[in-house]
Amino acid sequence: MAENEQHILAAFDRDLEALQAHFLKLSGLTEAALTEAAVALETLDAAAADRVIAADAAIDALEEFIQMEAASLIARRAPIASDLRRVLAVMRAAHSLERVGDYAKNVAKRARVLPPSAPVEGHAGTIRRMSNLVVRMLDEATRALVQKDVKLAEAVRKRDLDIDQVYNTLFRSLFTYMMESPGNIGPSMHLHFIAKNIERAGDHATTIAEQALYLATGTMPTDPRPKAGIEV
């Protein structure tokens, strides 16, 4: 290989490593936002909710930066085959992370307005556990993408079923609570929409895992995602 070609490849590798570093930072920001939003709900901590809402701007800005850097990398280096797949997978996964940040902000906004009489105890703990599952999925999905780890990506994809099952159980519990008294309907609906946002965040973690599979194998999964129960 000519010296000039080696230099070009080394420069591309450095650019790609920098892009992946920004991607991992974005993952960390979204995971932190989702975790803090769930804690804000469980403790009805308005200050924590405000921090999550304010932090969304940094998530949006970093995602936009990643998209611009990825587009520039494609234009400057003209990657092909697996190199192009890696850049495209990072772009798509970064968009999914930005959407998770939006869901975390939505959770925080609803936690911010929940009345003290809301049925937070018990339900909020379930929502926090659900959020913890999603955060773990996000962490493993992003690592699977960076490391091109097929086994880890497939494991994340299968765990989306666990999120659905927790969501369905919570939905039934909240529905029962709403039937007990009309005064429970408003707060319970807030909790339902919070849970739905976290369930959607889990869907995006699964999407990132599918991008990892696309990167590693060259094809997207063709079998349906494992899903369970209620879609509301």
Phi-psi group of 81: left, alpha or beta (phi > 0 → left; psi -120 to 50 → alpha; rest → beta): left
Judged on CB neighbours under 10 Å (0-12, 13-18, 19+), 40 is buried
Q: What pLDDT sits at residue 7?
A: 46
Class for the domain spanning 3-217: mainly alpha
Residue 91 has which token pair? 């772009």
Residue 194's pLDDT is what?
94
Per-block average pLDDT, block size 10, for the chain (232 residues)? 54 88 97 96 92 98 97 88 90 98 97 73 84 97 96 95 93 86 81 94 97 92 71 52
> What's the confidence (pLDDT) of residue 8?
53
